[in-house]
Structure 1
Amino acid sequence: MQAVSLSTVDTLYSADAIEFCPTSSRLFACGTYQIEKDESADEGAPAAEPVVTRYGRCLLYEIGEDGRNLREAQRFDGPAILDMKWSPRPWRGQTTLAIADAKGHVQLHGMDEETNKLSPRQIIDCADEKTLCLSLDWSTRRPTADPASIVVSLSDGSICTLGGESELSVTESWHAHDFEPWIAAFDCWDPNTVWTGGDDLKLKGWDLRQGCDQPTFVNKRSFEGGVTTIQSHPLLENIFAVGSYDANVRLFDRRKPQVPLTEFDAGGGIWRVKWHATNAERLLVAGMHDGFKVVDFDGLSQGSVENGGKLHTRFDEHTSLAYGVDWSGGKGDEGRDVIASCSFYDHTVHVWAA
């Protein structure tokens, strides 16, 4: 099925991240990333590398119940945004948006449930301002008695974790990949386990209880491009999905992480994958050069994926890199799932249904 746009907006800056608020199927945040180069130099002076400034904007949008009537609710500027995630459960009594930015920070912004507006709560320095925070993930996607923590991947090849009771701070940091680690994610069934993937074509596992001096596994055989996205399955305990620049989505069993259970060529190089909240066999895929897709893995909930994945819906109205995407949790016409997506160079958000 080919999906059509229900509503759209120009974000002005290049858009790369979309995340729906866990307390509202009508409210989502969009992160943007813009580069400005200052190539001015004194006449006669030796040529120098241009000064690059990465700046961005967080945009909060609200949509109608059917996915139409998209409107901007809030905006605030800051360093370029590379990733963002809402706290699945309230953090310190408030739903909180964590932002990974281009100056080595994780920003925390709390949501006021009465006004539906964000306000700054904390900025955590994960690295120096020349290092980019590339991705982040909360440890609390499933109910747990443990306090919330965040894992962050950094452009210098390192991974760090953030924890603490009243405020978050860096609790551990280690070198994980020789090239950019595009993604770090918790096993949502076991917050002691972290998975990372990088431009070195490697998928790695880490046990936070062991100090992370050595990974628990390294898979360097399954991928023909950098590992870009990982998400633990919220309904099936041992399953996690991995996306790569090689355009394939691979499903793994955490008990046998060296060999994928199945793979699906989604096209275009994968940037993000998102599992459906209630349909255990449905995955949302951002395919960079080949648009957005909803893929079904029939039989996955019964432990059988012999037939691999199949395309359920695609959305091709973006004209640039398909980066950010998320399920709203709400329904549109004919009971279809409402989805928001964004693309980079054409700085566009679309809302559609699958």
Structure 2
Amino acid sequence: MPWKSRTRSLQVFDTEQSADTVEWCPVSPHHNVLVCGTYQLHKGVRVRTEDVAPSRTGRLYLFEFRQEGSLCPPLTELQCLDTAAILDLKWCHVPLSGKALLGIAAATGELQLYSLSDSQEGSCSLQTLSSVQVGAERLALSLDWSTGRMDSSDVRVVCSDSAGCVSVLSVAEGTLTTLSQWKAHDFEAWISAFSYWDTQLIYSGNTPLILWSVTSVWDQPKETFGGLGVESNQFRDHYDEQVLLWDGRNMRQPLSESAMGGGVWRLKWHPTQQHLLLAACMHNDFHILHCQQALEGSEGACPVVASYILHNSLAYGADWSRLALDKPAPCSPNATEPKESLTESRGHLRIQYESPTASFDTSLEDDAGQYIPESISAHSSKPAAGPVINPDHDASSLTCLLASCSFYDHMLHVWRWDWTPDEIQQGSQQ
């Protein structure tokens, strides 16, 4: 399937501490709200005859994305909270009591809950709501909400920790209450997730990955298989892990296996386009896979339709925004062979990479850290061919807003992806 694919950096933000997780708010009207969590390890020291244990600190950043013009950076920092180190954070998919709720898995072993509140000035902020410690001397490693298919009834949270335990908690009137906890793994349980098609089923892992039934005895797993990096697909009753696509009705054999390299850390399905999967691949950047043929039963790996290659450290956090971008991105000349170039444009650094299957045309900040408007960095580019549509509609041409973060270089990137099949472009030019 031919296509024209382009990723373009919109803004880069230095989080100062190691960044490991980002999430766009899924609750309307806050689709332009972004949070980022950091994790900083402070090594222990020896004071006289005693060893001081290492400590872990973090920060919770709250941003707003605005489309006010090309001369202003689109991302505005609204709030920065010093916290314990953050291992994972996720928004509840639906509002509770009229507000968007954010859950955080912290290095103190706590599951923390924040609410997003609007101010009279038209801005917003995060307010502490509730917290529960899932266990002493352990790290809370991941969490997931039971509301992935936008069902607000019986809202629960699942959390996994460094002791190999999995906890299920209820959320009633903004208060977290532990319902169950069991020893699920001999080592760290790096990931936990609800099946969005049956919230009585929970997946947890590192290796092996285990399927649990909430209605069964906790020490009797329903299924056992291998892996790390899990998210249930709200559109289809399938399951993915290590970029293996599974049918939830038959977990013995994956539908498809796509070798990404670098170690897949996080997977995110597109919120409205059921065939698009975003993968954060640690040592191998960020990639978008097109999974339609695999989900329809065809064998073979899922093709990579776009990649974002500008992070210089471990690719950890990544997420799609539901916000529709107003204007199409300018396009770069078609490439006939892979190339990578660094050129100067009006005193600004311009990094461009193009390949026969996908084009990555990216503008960054200058050496002084000033935002470079897209109209300046791409002044020689022509307008994109073909229509750019709202990704909420089921169509073959898309423009998407994404965020990603990397660890040791403590960087948050906000970027866009424009995707148009060649046949669409050719039809618009006739």
Whole-angstrom CA distance in 2 between matches of 1:33 and 1:154: 15
Deviations 1:98-132 (A, max 9, x none): 0000001011000013432110001111111x200
2:322 to 317, 320, 329: 329
1:272 to 247, 266, 270: 266
Classify the secondary structure of the residue corresponding to 2:47: coil
**1:4 counterpart residue number:** 8
For the Cα contact (< 8 Å) 1:280–1:300, is it kept in 2? no
**2:54 counterpart residue number:** 52
* 1:17-96 matched pairs, under 5 angstroms: 17-23=21-27, 24-42=30-48, 45=49, 50-65=52-67, 69-96=74-101
Whole-angstrom CA distance in 1 between matches of 2:151 and 2:22: 25
Where in structure 1 are there 5+ consecutive unaligned residues? 221-226, 244-248
* 1:192-271 matched pairs, under 5 angstroms: 192-198=200-206, 201-220=207-226, 227-236=227-236, 238-243=237-242, 249-271=243-265
Q: Report the AA paired with residue 149 of structure 1.
A: R
> What CA RMSD, in Å, does the superposition of the two structures yield over aligned residues?
1.7
**1:153 counterpart residue number:** 160
For the Cα contact (< 8 Å) 1:341–1:350, is it kept in 2? yes
Whole-angstrom CA distance in 2 between matches of 1:262 and 1:280: 16
Q: Following TM superposition, by how much is the alpha carbon of 1:304 offset from its aligned partner in structure 2, in angstroms? A: 2.3
For the Cα contact (< 8 Å) 2:255–2:297, is it kept in 1? no
**2:391 counterpart residue number:** none
Deviations 1:292-337 (A, max 9, x none): 1111113245x22323300111001110000000001123443410
Q: Report the AA paired with residue 306 of structure 1.
A: E
For the Cα contact (< 8 Å) 2:105–2:141, is it kept in 1? yes
Q: Report the AA paired with residue 282 of structure 1.
A: L
Q: Report the AA paired with residue 149 of structure 2.
A: R
Whole-angstrom CA distance in 1 between matches of 2:249 and 2:52: 48
Distance 1:113 1:305, change over 3 A: farther
Classify the secondary structure of the residue corresponding to 1:329: coil
Classify the secondary structure of the residue corresponding to 2:274: coil
Q: Report the AA paired with residue 94 of structure 2.
A: R
Whole-angstrom CA distance in 2 between matches of 1:15 and 1:351: 13
Q: Following TM superposition, by how much is the alpha carbon of 1:180 offset from its aligned partner in structure 2, in angstroms? A: 1.0
Provide TM-score, normalisation by structure 2.
0.75
Whole-angstrom CA distance in 2 between matches of 1:279 and 1:350: 22
Distance 1:92 1:125, change over 3 A: farther
Q: Following TM superposition, by how much is the alpha carbon of 1:235 offset from its aligned partner in structure 2, in angstroms? A: 0.8
Q: Which moved more, 1:307-316 or 1:51-60?
A: 307-316
Q: Following TM superposition, by how much is the alpha carbon of 1:272 offset from its aligned partner in structure 2, in angstroms? A: 0.5
Q: Following TM superposition, by how much is the alpha carbon of 1:258 offset from its aligned partner in structure 2, in angstroms? A: 2.1
Q: Following TM superposition, by how much is the alpha carbon of 1:242 offset from its aligned partner in structure 2, in angstroms? A: 1.0
Whole-angstrom CA distance in 2 between matches of 1:107 and 1:91: 16
The answer on 1:14 being equivalent to 2:77 is no
Deviations 1:121-170 (A, max 9, x none): 01111111x20000000001114363210000010011011115332211
Q: Report the AA paired with residue 147 of structure 2.
A: T
Q: Which moved more, 1:148-157 or 1:107-116?
A: 107-116
For the Cα contact (< 8 Å) 1:298–1:308, is it kept in 2? no
Classify the secondary structure of the residue corresponding to 2:258: strand
Aligned length: 334
Whole-angstrom CA distance in 1 between matches of 2:116 and 2:317: 21
Q: Following TM superposition, by how much is the alpha carbon of 1:2 offset from its aligned partner in structure 2, in angstroms? A: 5.4
1:320 to 313, 317, 328: 313
Q: Following TM superposition, by how much is the alpha carbon of 1:278 offset from its aligned partner in structure 2, in angstroms? A: 1.7
Q: Which moved more, 1:157-166 or 1:101-110?
A: 157-166
2:284 to 290, 314, 321: 290
Q: Report the AA paired with residue 142 of structure 2.
A: S
Deviations 1:259-287 (A, max 9, x none): 11101112210110000122111100101
**1:104 counterpart residue number:** 109
Whole-angstrom CA distance in 2 between matches of 1:160 and 1:189: 20
Q: Following TM superposition, by how much is the alpha carbon of 1:40 offset from its aligned partner in structure 2, in angstroms? A: 2.7
Larger relative contact order (CA 8 Å, sep ≥ 6): 2
Q: Following TM superposition, by how much is the alpha carbon of 1:35 offset from its aligned partner in structure 2, in angstroms? A: 0.8
For the Cα contact (< 8 Å) 1:91–1:148, is it kept in 2? no
Distance 1:329 1:145, change over 3 A: closer
Q: Report the AA paired with residue 187 of structure 1.
A: S
Q: Report the AA paired with residue 8 of structure 1.
A: V
**2:344 counterpart residue number:** none
Q: Which moved more, 1:308-317 or 1:106-115?
A: 106-115
Q: Which moved more, 1:144-153 or 1:267-276?
A: 144-153
For the Cα contact (< 8 Å) 1:65–1:331, is it kept in 2? no
Whole-angstrom CA distance in 2 between matches of 1:321 and 1:344: 5
**1:344 counterpart residue number:** 407
Where in structure 2 are there 5+ consecutive unaligned residues? 329-387, 389-398, 418-430
Deviations 1:227-279 (A, max 9, x none): 3311111111x211112xxxxx1011111112111011122101100001221
Q: Report the AA paired with residue 41 of structure 1.
A: V
Which structure: larger Rg?
Answer: 2
For the Cα contact (< 8 Å) 2:255–2:294, is it kept in 1? no
The answer on 1:132 being equivalent to 2:139 is yes
Q: Following TM superposition, by how much is the alpha carbon of 1:50 offset from its aligned partner in structure 2, in angstroms? A: 4.7
**1:224 counterpart residue number:** none
For the Cα contact (< 8 Å) 1:4–1:317, is it kept in 2? no
